[in-house]
Structure 1
Amino acid sequence: MPRTNGYRGVSRDAAQKHYDVSDEFFQIWLGPSLAYAGGLWEDGADTLEKAQLRKTDYLLGQAGIRPGHRVLDVGCGYGAEMQRMVEEYDADSVTGITLSEAAVEWTRNLAIPRTEIRLENWIDHRPAQPYDAIICVEAMEHFARPGMSGRAKTRGYREFFSRCRSWLRPEGRLVIQTITWGHRFPWDLDLLRGLYLASKVYPECNPSYLTELQAASDGLFDLVALRNDFDHYARTLRCWLENLDADRDRAAQLVGEKKARDFERCMTTAVRAFSEGWLHLHRLTFRPVPEPVGPARRFLVNNVLARDSLPTPKFLG
């Protein structure tokens, strides 16, 4: 198994600085499911809870979860996907891992049968048996820190893909929902200020580019489904902002005026970033390749196999 070159992704302290604030504060704007991720929307009359449930069912459907399956949820949040897998999909065993103590306590208190939640970094995970499916909902944003080169980020992502492949059954699926960088950002001071603030609210967080994920998974997984729903995230964020505004005084009482305002400003900036395509929301479905190999040697494909580069077979001459 490849080494991590010393970098283990977001630290537990950084993760807890953001997530271990106040469950009640997050409930105010995330809603009762505490689904902290972009929803999957349909018509104009849709609701936040319906969009979140549709997102969950889409991801679990892509993962092919069926009765009797063993599933790993990387970055499991407050357990909404875990609960759905057991109650509606009849999964036999669901393991969730997170770096948030608050999420661990919340999910354990739900007492969901056939589940286990661990305060654990994915790098330290050692499954007792292979999984039928792995899902990872908006956790990869924490697998790289600001300032890392694209090459270093890709090495870290490849470590994750390599481990996931070793944890999966040959017919298993890996499903990821993640925020990614989109187009180049304009030189707009308001947007840049908002991004700087986000780096403080979400410490040690740096999304990937889609190309980095494709390079990292090359030779380990085939990408079999891909969609980009950045406009869905903008709509989700607008709902969160409306919820926060509707109970703004209580939110400030729970976490303080500055923190409530910082969350509000970050989400306002994110609405614009997703609406204009500067940030994307990718949902990806991977299946393991039969035998893992190194990344494709594109020189061979692009050059050596060119028609004029090879001798013509005698029967074609």
Structure 2
Amino acid sequence: MSIAVAPRQPISATSLPPVVAPTVRRCYDVLDLCRGCGIIDFTDGKYIDSCNDRTGYLAAQRRQAAYLLDQVGCASGSRILDIGCGYGRIVQAATARSAAATGLTISPPQMANCRKRGLDVRLCNYRELFTRGEYDDWEHAFDGIIANGSLEHFVQCEDAAAGRADAMYTEFFDVCHRLLSPGGKLATTAIHMRRAGQWKAADLLGEPGRWPKGSEHYHLADVLRNFGGWYPEPGQLERCAEGRFRLIAAEDGTHDYFLTSEYWMRQIRRSLALNPRAWLSALRVFVRQPHAALEMMRCLLRDESWNYQFRAPAPTQLWRQTWVAV
């Protein structure tokens, strides 16, 4: 039975302007160097075995896109929105199904790359969609929405420490509910904590060096400092979606993210050692963002903090979840 919910304006729950965290902007500006390393996807792939060579990696990324599109019922004529579309793999895959697909990104290099390939991608924070009148005609316009790896950037460590996480996740579901047609579906993939209260956000603010090097807190603080974001606790998204969405499917993809991340690290190292195209790409990024680029490379390649999250016993869990609007 559907639950009647009075409409409410997005963003009011947080009392904060809908701005993108500078750390997240820097993260994707720096990660643009990965294009020169042959990496254009920044989320887990969906593997059928443990083969994560180049062929296996690319097949896993295609499989992930297909899975998420299937979850939201993407077919010919469907209208699909990808929130945090990256370099457009899902938008392109939806277009290949003859769907009308649109992507949102906060990264100018990603938008430019997508538009060169003829994809409909907008430079926009999802929180701004209904604040300026520009996208009012998107209300209830989409059959399916995908947020593949973007959700973990929506709440920052500072937000969680200030007690704003629930309000911000609720706002996300509010916006998606307003975008979807009745009965539309939302597919999310997001890194989660393993257990409630696993980390206190206030403990992870600032430099990772305040924690013993190699410790769980060190690695997580390192990741959050370079990538920006915060991870929901088990059950938190379900609680924040209540009255807007019902969870209808959930799948643990932690091992898939482990395989994906190990491939990334090998590929970046190999490319930066041997590939002139990667050198040029890295040089451009280091000129624009020298400190941020150096810190990101330390996090990824020296400390291996990103990969630590998924190595057994993994302190985090990747959940693929499918929701239906109520």
Q: Report the TM range for the smaller structure's normalisation.
A: 0.7 to 0.9
The secondary structure found in structure 2 opposite 1:245 is helix
User: Compared with structure 1, are the counterparts of its residues 43 and 267 closer, same or farther at alpha carbon in structure 2 (3 Å cutoff)?
Assistant: farther
Which letter maps to 1:50? Answer: A
Q: Is the 8 A contact 1:12 1:99 kept in 2?
A: no
Residue equivalent to 1:26: 34
Quick one: distance in 2 between partners of 1:267 and 1:4? 37
Q: Is the 8 A contact 2:265 2:301 kept in 1?
A: no
Residue equivalent to 2:319: 282
CA shift digits 1:248-288 (9 cap, x unpaired):
24455454482463242488223232122311111110001
Quick one: distance in 1 between partners of 2:183 and 2:268? 43
Which letter maps to 1:285? Answer: T
By how many angstroms is 1:79 displaced? 0.8
Corresponding position: 1:110 with 2:117: yes
Quick one: distance in 2 between partners of 1:269 and 1:22? 15
Which protein has the larger Cα radius of gyration, Structure 1 or Structure 2? 1
Residue equivalent to 1:173: 185
Residue equivalent to 1:39: 45
Quick one: distance in 2 between partners of 1:166 and 1:219? 13
Residue equivalent to 2:202: none
Quick one: distance in 2 between partners of 1:267 and 1:132? 42
Residue equivalent to 1:313: none
Residue equivalent to 2:23: 14
The secondary structure found in structure 2 opposite 1:14 is helix
Of 207, 213, 225, 1:200 maps to 225
Residue equivalent to 1:248: 272
By how many angstroms is 1:97 displaced? 1.1
Which letter maps to 1:279? Answer: T
Does 1 or 2 have the higher relative contact order (CA < 8 Å, sep 6+)?
Answer: 2
Residue equivalent to 1:297: none
Residue equivalent to 1:157: 169
**After superposition, where does 1:287-302 map in structure 2 within 5 Å?**
287-289=324-326
Which letter maps to 2:104? Answer: I
Equivalenced residues, count: 279
Residue equivalent to 1:238: 262
Of 264, 272, 297, 2:300 maps to 264
User: Compared with structure 1, are the counterparts of its residues 108 and 266 closer, same or farther at alpha carbon in structure 2 (3 Å cutoff)?
Assistant: farther
The secondary structure found in structure 1 opposite 2:30 is coil
The secondary structure found in structure 2 opposite 1:173 is strand
By how many angstroms is 1:28 displaced? 4.2
CA RMSD of aligned residues (A): 2.4
Quick one: distance in 2 between partners of 1:86 and 1:123? 25
Quick one: distance in 2 between partners of 1:176 and 1:15? 19
Corresponding position: 1:48 with 2:57: yes
By how many angstroms is 1:200 displaced? 2.6
Quick one: distance in 1 between partners of 2:151 and 2:31? 23
Q: Is the 8 A contact 2:219 2:308 kept in 1?
A: no
Q: Is the 8 A contact 1:138 1:178 kept in 2?
A: yes
Query: What's the % identity of the aligned pairs?
Result: 24
The TM-score with structure 2 as length reference comes to 0.78
By how many angstroms is 1:11 displaced? 2.0
The secondary structure found in structure 2 opposite 1:73 is strand
Quick one: distance in 2 between partners of 1:19 and 1:82? 18
**After superposition, where does 1:68-83 map in structure 2 within 5 Å?**
68-83=77-92
By how many angstroms is 1:6 displaced? 2.4
Quick one: distance in 2 between partners of 1:142 and 1:15? 7
Q: Structure 2: which 5+ runs fail to align?
A: 1-7, 130-134, 200-210, 287-292
Which letter maps to 1:145? Answer: Q
Residue equivalent to 1:122: 126
Which letter maps to 2:263? Answer: C
Corresponding position: 1:216 with 2:216: no
The secondary structure found in structure 2 opposite 1:190 is coil
Q: Structure 1: which 5+ runs fail to align?
A: 290-317
Which letter maps to 2:109? Answer: A
Quick one: distance in 2 between partners of 1:284 and 1:121? 22
Of 83, 98, 120, 1:90 maps to 98
